[in-house]
């Protein structure tokens, strides 16, 4: 005489259901993981229905639901799987695991940022965190910020202008803060990387505060003075008609080795203590405008030739 054990039918149906989901995922664009996470309560429902159906359809006057080792095993497996799926869903572990195993990178354009620089503004202060940056100049008295992004969790529609930069005007100064891309912590660290170009008016003074990674500066015919606090490396592109005095300081004596400097001198304290600075200066044209780099590791002027 065959005996019915609690969980037997539920286990069979759960396996059929799981197999069907996996099969659907093979031939469609549906994500079987997402489907499983959405429909996992089906397991408990089937188990409960199985017990009720047996009791209702049993021909015995007092039907007894039999529990033995196999029944307890089936229920234990189904319950453990259900609780595990619930915890993974509620804690967001599913997306974390999927992200750690498979990463899709999204690349696209950043929202363009445009701001009028009025005649009352004579200084632009760029507060920069450690990023690579390309800078151009324009004669339209406008600020432009544009570029691209690369992310493994954000899409183009997720990024707003306010995520790229913030601009504030105080008196005769315009303050620009370039913002970091969003990041996400979990089982693995995700981050959005920005690759930005900024265009500034050529007739205003510019201060770049903070530390920059690699900077490419195409000055055009600037008439304002530029000051750069600190950068890892810098490529300066000057036009033939430039009237600029270029000044650079570095802890490395080899700074700008491919530039025919007009003036070189050593300033600071003892070299062994890392206090010695090397100052170098080059004048182009009448040298009316000034580009001052306070501290830099590598430096070259593009028309002179790239570093090797």
In a domain, 47, yes or no: yes
Cα dihedral sign for 264, 269, 272, 275? negative
Query: Among all chains, which residue has been given the structure tokens 């047996």?
Result: 54
Q: What's the rounded Cα separation, in Å, for the pair 91 and 34?
A: 15
Q: 181 and 236: one domain?
A: yes
Q: In the predicted model, is pLDDT for residue 199 greater than 80?
A: yes
Query: Can you give the residue range of the structural domain that contains 148?
Result: 106-301
| pTM > 0.85 | no
Q: 17 and 136: one domain?
A: no
Q: In the predicted model, is pLDDT for residue 15 greater than 80?
A: no
Q: What's the rounded Cα separation, in Å, for the pair 130 and 231?
A: 9
Q: 22 and 71: one domain?
A: yes
Q: 119 and 75: one domain?
A: no
Mean pLDDT calculated for residue range 82-95: 63
Q: 211 and 188: one domain?
A: yes
Work out the number of other CB atoms within 10 angstroms of the CB of residue 58: 13
- The structural domain count of the chain equals 2
In a domain, 166, yes or no: yes
**pLDDT, tens only, 47-80:** 677 767 766 666 555 555 555 566 667 666 766 7
Q: In the predicted model, is pLDDT for residue 135 greater than 50?
A: yes
Q: 155 and 243: one domain?
A: yes
In a domain, 1, yes or no: no
Q: 190 and 259: one domain?
A: yes
Domain-terminating residue out of 80, 101, 122 = 101
In a domain, 93, yes or no: yes
Q: What's the rounded Cα separation, in Å, for the pair 63 and 56?
A: 9
Which of 88-102, 120-134, 193-207 bottoms out in mean pLDDT, i.e. has the lowest?
88-102
In a domain, 206, yes or no: yes
Helices 41-57 and 8-27 meet at what angle, rounded to 10? 140
List Cβ neighbours of 128 (8 Å cut-off, separation of 6 or more). 178, 208, 209, 210, 211, 212
Maximal CA-CA distance, the chain: 110
Q: 25 and 112: one domain?
A: no
Domain-terminating residue out of 50, 75, 101 = 101
Q: In the predicted model, is pLDDT for residue 100 greater than 90?
A: no
Query: Among all chains, which residue has been given the structure tokens 């707003």?
Result: 160
Q: 25 and 77: one domain?
A: yes
Q: 89 and 122: one domain?
A: no
| Burial class of residue 15 in the structure, from the number of CB atoms within 10 Å of its CB (0-12 exposed, 13-18 middle, 19+ buried) | exposed
Q: 162 and 288: one domain?
A: yes
In a domain, 225, yes or no: yes
Query: Among all chains, which residue has been given the structure tokens 């008196």?
Result: 171
Instruction: Give the DSSP letter of residue 5.
Output: -
Distances (CA, A) of 250 to 144, 213, 246, 263, 305: 30, 15, 13, 14, 20
**pLDDT, tens only, 250-297:** 998 889 998 999 999 998 665 555 578 899 999 999 999 999 999 999
pLDDT at position 20:
75
């Amino acid at each position: 005489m065959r005996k019915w054990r609690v969980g037997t039918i539920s286990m069979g149906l759960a396996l059929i259901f799981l197999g069907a989901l996996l099969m659907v995922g093979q031939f469609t664009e549906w994500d079987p993981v997402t489907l499983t996470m959405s429909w996992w309560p089906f397991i408990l429902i089937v188990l409960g229905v199985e017990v009720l159906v047996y009791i209702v359809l049993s021909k015995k006057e007092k039907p007894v639901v039999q529990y033995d080792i196999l029944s307890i095993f089936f229920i234990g497996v189904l319950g453990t799987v259900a609780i595990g799926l619930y915890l993974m869903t509620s804690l967001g572990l599913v997306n974390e695991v999927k992200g750690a195993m498979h990463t899709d990178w999204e690349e696209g354009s950043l929202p363009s940022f445009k701001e009028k620089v009025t005649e009352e503004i004579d200084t632009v202060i760029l507060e920069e965190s450690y990023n690579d940056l390309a800078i151009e100049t324009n004669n339209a008295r406008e600020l432009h910020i544009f570029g691209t992004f690369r992310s493994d969790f954000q899409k183009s529609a997720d990024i707003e202008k306010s995520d790229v930069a913030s601009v504030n005007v105080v008196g005769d100064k315009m303050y620009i803060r370039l913002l970091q891309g969003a990041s996400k912590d979990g089982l693995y660290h995700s981050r959005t990387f920005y690759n930005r170009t900024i265009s500034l008016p050529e007739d205003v003074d510019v201060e770049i505060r903070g530390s920059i990674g690699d900077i490419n500066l195409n000055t055009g015919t600037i008439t304002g003075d530029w000051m750069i606090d600190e950068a890892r490396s810098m490529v300066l592109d000057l036009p033939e008609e430039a009237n600029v005095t270029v000044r650079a300081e570095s802890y490395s004596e080899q700074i700008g080795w491919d530039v025919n400097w007009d003036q070189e001198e050593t300033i600071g304290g003892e070299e062994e203590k890392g206090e010695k600075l090397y100052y170098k200066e080059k004048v182009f044209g009448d040298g009316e405008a000034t580009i001052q780099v306070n501290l830099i590791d590598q430096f070259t002027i593009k028309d002179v030739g790239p570093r090797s």
